[in-house]
């Protein structure tokens, strides 16, 4: 159609911002009606957006409507819903399970979908490729959501009529409004925004930064790909460590990884082994902070309104991620190099770690399972969470 790359990618930029602003509302909806219907609707809307991309001929109504549909669909069927499902089923191994779902699964799916999409475009053209992708998302996604997706316990009445009796750990939690008024919520959110914006912002400039220091382009690209592999390993490490040592201090220690990795890259110059260690730590740091945010939300605020609370934090994180690369780029243009902007990123991630160390112990810690005989006869009465009444929403 004669468009520049920036015009076509504008669809995904707009959809990302639409998704960020829609995420809190999708979380609120999921907390109230369960995940099955919102996710199914979200997948259908997302598929409609993909189909709309196959129909565009100009930057008119269909162009912008497709972007809006993709953003809203991603908000309804994205991380907020998946975190709600995973958190309801896993308690003792929740961090690892969340890491596999919110960090590893998207990375693996991208590695599979990207070459398939390229093949479809080469074989049938980009319009037909988008039509086929929309059909696959609609059929596979909606079928999976309707027949296999369900939330345990608190949402059982909505998602599974035959579900077991809810457990107290799942029923407990604070209302979203009370969470928003707490220092803990804003500490978590600000720490997440500082860490992810610094890491993603730096990641977007890594190849340019490395080649400017004398590293050849092929080696720089290899180092960036090494970071992706390290991220998957980092999920296993940080998730298992968080589940095994059930202390808020573990999360704080993991939040030091962004500052350590960026500082190491800053000091490395063109020394390859230091650059290699730096990108490995950076990959581990990125996946660690990604899985820790939803995990910490459930540990400090419970599951009662976890989707809405996580939705607000995630929206703030998405907006900060969008600004990170731009800010580092501005720093480069202003100072003529990356030393100043990356140094500021180190300072931001250091502040992020200090904020995490200021948090108090978990409010909703792991609940030890009851003995098998006790579970057969145990009946759970209505639970009223009074631990936080008359005081701040969380420690």
> Are 199 and 74 in a shared domain?
no
Would you call 276 helix, strand, or coil by DSSP? helix
> Are 118 and 199 in a shared domain?
no
Write out the two tokens for 379. Answer: 């009946």
> Are 120 and 241 in a shared domain?
no
> Are 121 and 183 in a shared domain?
no
* pLDDT in the model for residue 161: 40
pLDDT higher than threshold 60 for residue 364: yes
Residues 6+ apart with CB under 8 A from 279: 206, 223, 224, 226, 227, 230, 261, 265
> Are 141 and 181 in a shared domain?
no
Q: Let me know if residue 154 belongs to a domain.
A: no
Per the DSSP assignment, residues forming a β-bridge with 302 are 173
* pLDDT in the model for residue 189: 95
**Rg (alpha carbons) of the chain, rounded to whole number:** 22
> Are 135 and 186 in a shared domain?
no
Question: From its phi and psi, is residue 237 left (phi > 0), alpha (psi between -120 and 50) or beta?
Answer: alpha
* pLDDT in the model for residue 368: 60
The helix (H) or strand (E) run that includes residue 381 is none
How much of the chain exceeds pLDDT 70, in percent? 85
> Are 182 and 123 in a shared domain?
no
Q: Which of 103, 128, 147 is the last residue of a domain?
A: 147
* pLDDT in the model for residue 139: 93
The residue with greater pLDDT, 387 or 309, is: 309
Q: What is the pLDDT of residues 255-283, one digit of tens each?
A: 999 999 999 999 988 888 899 999 999 99
> Are 203 and 349 in a shared domain?
yes
Write out the two tokens for 34. Answer: 């369960």
Residue 367 pLDDT grade (very low, low, confident, very high; cuts 50, 70, 90): low
* pLDDT in the model for residue 16: 82
When mean pLDDT is compared across 100-109, 140-149, 250-259, 303-312, the lowest value belongs to 100-109
Cβ–Cβ under 8 Å, residues 59 and 1: no
Q: How far apart are CA 75 and CA 146, in angstroms?
A: 17
Q: Let me know if residue 371 belongs to a domain.
A: no
Q: Which of 128, 147, 166 is the last residue of a domain?
A: 147
Domain with 31 in it: 5-147
Write out the two tokens for 116. Answer: 């398939």
Of 114, 287, 260, 276, nearest in space to 206 by CA: 276
- If you average pLDDT over each of 121-130, 241-250, 257-266, 323-332, which comes out highest? 257-266
Q: Let me know if residue 170 belongs to a domain.
A: no
Calculate the CA 191 to chain-centre distance: 14
Cβ–Cβ under 8 Å, residues 230 and 280: yes
Q: Let me know if residue 319 belongs to a domain.
A: yes
Q: Let me know if residue 384 belongs to a domain.
A: no
φ and ψ at 368, to 5 degrees? Answer: -70, 135
> Are 130 and 44 in a shared domain?
yes
Q: Let me know if residue 218 belongs to a domain.
A: yes
Of 223, 246, 333, nearest in space to 298 by CA: 246
φ and ψ at 338, to 5 degrees? Answer: -95, -5
Write out the two tokens for 282. Answer: 């950076």
CATH number of the domain within which 71 lies: 1.20.1250.20
The structure's pTM equals 0.79
* pLDDT in the model for residue 160: 41
> Are 247 and 133 in a shared domain?
no
- If you average pLDDT over each of 74-78, 228-232, 294-298, which comes out highest? 294-298
Residues 6+ apart with CB under 8 A from 328: 201, 202, 204, 205, 338, 341, 342, 345
In the predicted model, what is the mean pLDDT of residues 59-79?
87
* pLDDT in the model for residue 231: 85
Mean per-residue pLDDT over the chain, rounded: 83
Residue 6's CB: how many other CB atoms inside 10 A? Answer: 8
Q: How far apart are CA 42 and CA 75, in angstroms?
A: 7
Q: Let me know if residue 171 belongs to a domain.
A: no
CA atoms within 13 A on the CB side of 19: 28
Cβ–Cβ under 8 Å, residues 383 and 317: no
> Are 255 and 329 in a shared domain?
yes
Q: How far apart are CA 230 and CA 284, in angstroms?
A: 6
How much of the chain exceeds pLDDT 90, in percent? 33
Residue 271's CB: how many other CB atoms inside 10 A? Answer: 13
* pLDDT in the model for residue 260: 95
The residue with greater pLDDT, 112 or 25, is: 25
* pLDDT in the model for residue 384: 43
Q: Let me know if residue 59 belongs to a domain.
A: yes
Cβ–Cβ under 8 Å, residues 171 and 164: no
Q: What is the pLDDT of residues 378-389, one digit of tens each?
A: 444 444 444 444
Per the DSSP assignment, residues forming a β-bridge with 173 are 302
> Are 271 and 311 in a shared domain?
yes
In the predicted model, what is the mean pLDDT of residues 367-378?
52
326-348 core/surface letters (b: 16 or more CB in 10 A; e: else): ebbbebbeeeeebeebbebbbeb
Q: Which of 127, 147, 167 is the last residue of a domain?
A: 147
Count of structural domains, the chain: 2
């Amino acid at each position: 159609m004669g468009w520049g790359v920036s015009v076509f990618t504008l669809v995904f930029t707009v959809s990302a911002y639409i998704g960020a602003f829609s995420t809190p509302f999708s979380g609120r909806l999921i907390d109230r009606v369960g995940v099955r219907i919102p996710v199914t609707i979200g997948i259908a809307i997302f598929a409609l957006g993909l189909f709309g991309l196959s129909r565009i001929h100009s930057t008119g109504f269909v162009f912008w409507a497709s972007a809006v549909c993709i953003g809203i669909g991603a908000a309804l069927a994205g991380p907020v819903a998946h975190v709600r499902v995973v958190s309801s089923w896993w308690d003792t191994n929740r961090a690892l399970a969340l890491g596999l779902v919110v960090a590893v699964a998207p990375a693996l799916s991208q590695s599979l979908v990207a070459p398939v999409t390229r093949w479809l475009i080469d074989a049938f053209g980009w319009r037909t490729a988008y039509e086929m992708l929309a059909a696959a998302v609609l059929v596979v996604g909606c079928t999976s959501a309707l027949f296999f997706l369900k939330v345990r316990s608190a949402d059982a009445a909505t998602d599974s009529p035959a579900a077991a009796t809810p457990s107290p750990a799942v029923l407990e939690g604070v209302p979203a409004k009370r969470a928003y008024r707490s220092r803990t919520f804003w500490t978590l959110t600000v720490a997440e925004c500082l860490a992810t914006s610094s890491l993603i912002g730096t990641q977007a400039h890594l190849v340019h930064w490395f080649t400017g220091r004398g590293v050849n382009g092929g080696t720089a690209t290899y180092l960036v790909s090494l970071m992706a592999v390290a991220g998957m390993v980092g999920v296993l490490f940080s998730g298992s460590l968080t589940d095994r040592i059930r202390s808020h201090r573990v999360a704080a220690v993991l939040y030091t990884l962004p500052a350590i990795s960026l500082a190491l890259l800053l000091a490395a110059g063109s020394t390859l082994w230091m650059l290699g260690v730096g990108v490995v730590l950076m990959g581990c740091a990125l996946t660690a902070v990604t899985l820790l945010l939803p995990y910490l939300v459930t540990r400090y605020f419970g599951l009662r309104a976890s989707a809405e609370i996580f939705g607000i934090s995630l929206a703030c994180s998405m907006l900060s991620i969008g600004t990170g690369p731009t800010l580092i780029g501005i720093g480069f243009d202003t100072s003529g190099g990356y030393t100043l902007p990356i140094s500021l990123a180190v300072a931001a991630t250091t502040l992020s770690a200090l904020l995490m160390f200021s948090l108090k112990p978990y409010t909703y810690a792991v609940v030890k399972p009851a003995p098998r005989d006790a579970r057969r006869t145990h009946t759970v009465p209505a639970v009223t969470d009074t631990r936080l009444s008359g005081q701040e929403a969380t420690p």
